[in-house]
Amino acid sequence: GENVEQHPSTLSVQEGDSAVIKCTYSDSASNYFPWYKQELGKRPQLIIDIRSNVGEKKDQRIAVTLNKTAKHFSLHITETQPEDSAVYFCAASIGGNSGGSNYKLTFGKGTLLTVNP
Amino acid sequence: EPEVTQTPSHQVTQMGQEVILRCVPISNHLYFYWYRQILGQKVEFLVSFYNNEISEKSEIFDDQFSVERPDGSNFTLKIRSTKLEDSAMYFCASRREQVNTEAFFGQGTRLTVV
């Protein structure tokens, strides 16, 4: 089955700096890669996702890049703010046209991002 | 904005007891999931449910686990005889379409088995 590795496990940056979190996946059939942010005691919330037919996607200060050949994808947060502090999870999912496909998410172990004011 | 809701937020149970975790997915969603997160570890897939049946389950989802959608709105996870190692945060999630779309997560139920 799919295996997702995520690095680093903890990341501390100064406010205004950039943060980069990297993930690798094992199953070349995976074609959907969401990133979730989880604040302490709260639910995981999607912040950005990318599908395998694109290499990069950007939404304001957040961007995700995907390298299908190398099977890795990264989250980039620019101009970090204290409210960006949270645990970030990458995930991979296999999607297709077969009926009843479940599109389960396989998660990385998470990165605790701390943005110091 | 519609949300996935879960009850209870925290459940403490004795080892060997049955527990039922409840979820109300977003109303027009068709695909439902349970995940769990042991403290400090990754979120792990348990089971997916579509068209009133299980579509996939993980190795974790053994005979002690079952899911049900009893009334068209609730989606429940039952653990028949809880073990200490079942202690975790359990998340319900739902998504609307078959093609890869966002999975919306509930706020979780923290299950503590003592």
- pLDDT score of B98: 60
Range of weakest confidence among A18-27, A55-64, A89-98: A89-98
Contacting residues of B for A46, CB less than 8 Å apart: 102-104
Return all residues near A37 (Cβ < 8 A) that are at least 6 apart: A44, A45, A47, A86, A87, A88, A89
Contacting residues of B for A104, CB less than 8 Å apart: 33, 45, 48, 56
Contacting residues of B for A34, CB less than 8 Å apart: 102-103
Q: Do B50 and A100 touch (CB under 8 A)?
A: yes
Taking residues A13-28, what's their average pLDDT? 97
Residues in A whose CB is inside 8 Å of some CB of B read: 31-32, 34, 36, 42-46, 49, 51, 89, 91, 93, 95, 99-110
How does pLDDT run across B2-57, given as a tens digit for each residue? 899 999 999 999 999 999 999 999 998 989 999 999 988 889 999 999 888 999 99
Q: Is it the case that residue A96 has pLDDT exceeding 70?
A: no
Nearest CA in chain A to B102: A46
How does pLDDT run across A49-91, given as a tens digit for each residue? 998 888 999 999 999 999 999 999 999 999 999 999 999 999 9
Give the span between the Cα atoms of A87 and A110, in whole angstroms.
6
